[in-house]
Amino acid sequence: MSSVTFENVTKRFGEIAAVDALNLEVHDHEFLVLLGPSGCGKSTALRMIAGLDEPSEGDIRIGARVVNDVDPKDRDIAMVFQSYALYPHMTVRKNIEFPLDARKQPAAERAELVSGAAESLGLTDYLDRKPAQLSGGQRQRVALARAIVRRPSVFLMDEPLSNLDAKLRVQTRVELVELQRDLATTLIYVTHDQIEAMTMGDRIAIMRDGRLQQVGPPQDVYDNPANRFVAEFIGTPPMNTFAATAEAGRLLVGESVLQLAGHLRASVPDGPIIAGVRPEHFELADGAHATADSLSATAVLVESLGHERHIHCRLDSSDVVIARAAASEVCPAVGAPLRLIVDPQRIHAFNGDTGASYALA
């Protein structure tokens, strides 16, 4: 069993709680992504699993064992650092061998494991080079090889792709997912990049200011964000949020009116709220065609990405939203009046003060 559990874990640095009352269970063999902006506490949480930081309160378990006071070397974990943390004075071979050497494994066994790990990551030709003689991608592979070489039960990765160029990042993303599947171990992966989180994780855990915001499979988090922060953090471009007034199962946005779907009608109280719609859930229509369930708007900017367009529209409540449209659709002229049609099922409603989603209320 190599599940990892946070039980009410708090980590304070002086007065500041970097991680605040975290409860989270990472299942055995799961790929969990800890996602959040810088300073949200995700790296601190990872370092606590590694044993590099001690929790101020609460327990961390690896499997059934509480590891709060267990030395990093006795936790059966391996970690890949953002900087890769390769030993610059050692060859690639010595770097990969280091964890085995530190555990005093016999030389013959070590050599076999090192060549196995090097081969699986395409490093065989580089074993006698020093890290400085390698490219960024190769260094990253050495760091991975050093982590997998002794088959730990939990892998920890702290933004391992952030130093790679965009193309290599996409390629390595796929390889990491495959690697985790092949090794069949638990992997906890820290990133601030929501695309990495969406594409790699079995589940993602989103943090902000030391607090866990939401945990769930990527699509689930995307479709049903627990609060406005998650809604705006996940997705490119992020979910549009705009001021609206709820009144008897309808939303008033300036002069426009949107119907709320059944599941929200009961939970959204009358009064001011924050409404949310993802850019791809706006359907553009000519401004002359007044329809129900649509917002009247004016196009203010059109960004073309080749395969699609992002149309920035000002609502008559003066909020600006982005609508995503296929490149094949007719492109609206800047300044032209539009209507943005929304399926009531696609509307999100958040508490204006707490940001919490009414869908979960």
Partner 1 sequence: MRSRDASTPRTPSRRSKRFRETSLAYVMLAPSLVIFAIFVFYPFIKNFTFPFYQTSTAGGFGAFANESKPKWVGWEQWGAVLGSRDFWHSVWVTVQFVGLTVPLGIALGLLLAVIAHQKLAGITFYRTIFSSTVASSAAVASTIFFSLVGTQTGLWKLQINGHGILDDKTWALPAIAVVSIWQSLGLSFIVMSSGLQAIPDDLLEAARVDGAGASRRFLRVTLPLLSPTVFFAFVVGSISAFKTFAEIDLLNPIGKETGGTSLLAYQVKRLAFDSDSRTGQAAVFAVGLFAIVLMLTLIQMRLERRVHYAR
The footprint of partner 1 (CB under 8 A) covers 50-52, 71-73, 77-79, 81-83, 85, 87-89, 98-99, 102-103, 130-132, 146
Provide the 3-class DSSP secondary structure of residue 242: strand
CB of 139 to partner 1, least distance (A): 10
| Residues facing 79 on adjacent strands | 156
Which of 130, 82, 348 minimizes the C-alpha distance to 240? 348
Residue with structure tokens 């949107």? Answer: 258
Nearer to partner 1, 85 or 302 (CB): 85
CB of 51 to partner 1, least distance (A): 8
Which of 325, 229, 312, 310 minimizes the C-alpha distance to 276? 229
CB of 49 to partner 1, least distance (A): 10
DSSP 8-state class, residue 143: H
Nearer to partner 1, 10 or 82 (CB): 82
Instruction: Render 337-355 in DSSP notation, one character per residue.
Output: EEEEEE-GGG-EEE-TTT-
Query: For the purposes of burial, counting CB atoms within 10 Å of the CB of 230, is it exposed (0-12), middle (13-18) or buried (19 or more)?
Result: buried
| Token reading at 84 | 């890769």
Nearer to partner 1, 114 or 277 (CB): 114
Provide the 3-class DSSP secondary structure of residue 231: helix
| Token reading at 176 | 């990491």
CB of 140 to partner 1, least distance (A): 14
Distances (CA, A) of 104 to 70, 108, 114, 137, 180: 20, 12, 14, 29, 26
Asked if residues 360 and 226 have their Cβ atoms less than 8 Å apart, the reply is: yes
Q: Is the peptide bond before 217 cis (omega within 30 degrees of 0)?
A: no
The one-letter amino acid at 219: Q
Query: Which stretch of DSSP H or E encloses residue 48?
Result: helix 42-50
What backbone phi and psi angles, to 5 degrees, belong to 232?
-85, -15
Nearer to partner 1, 103 or 151 (CB): 103
Q: How many angstroms separate the CA atoms of 128 and 208, rounded?
A: 43
CB of 96 to partner 1, least distance (A): 10
| Token reading at 189 | 């992966």
CB of 32 to partner 1, least distance (A): 19
CB of 129 to partner 1, least distance (A): 12
Nearer to partner 1, 102 or 327 (CB): 102
CB of 214 to partner 1, least distance (A): 29
CB of 3 to partner 1, least distance (A): 19
| Residues facing 174 on adjacent strands | none
Nearer to partner 1, 139 or 309 (CB): 139
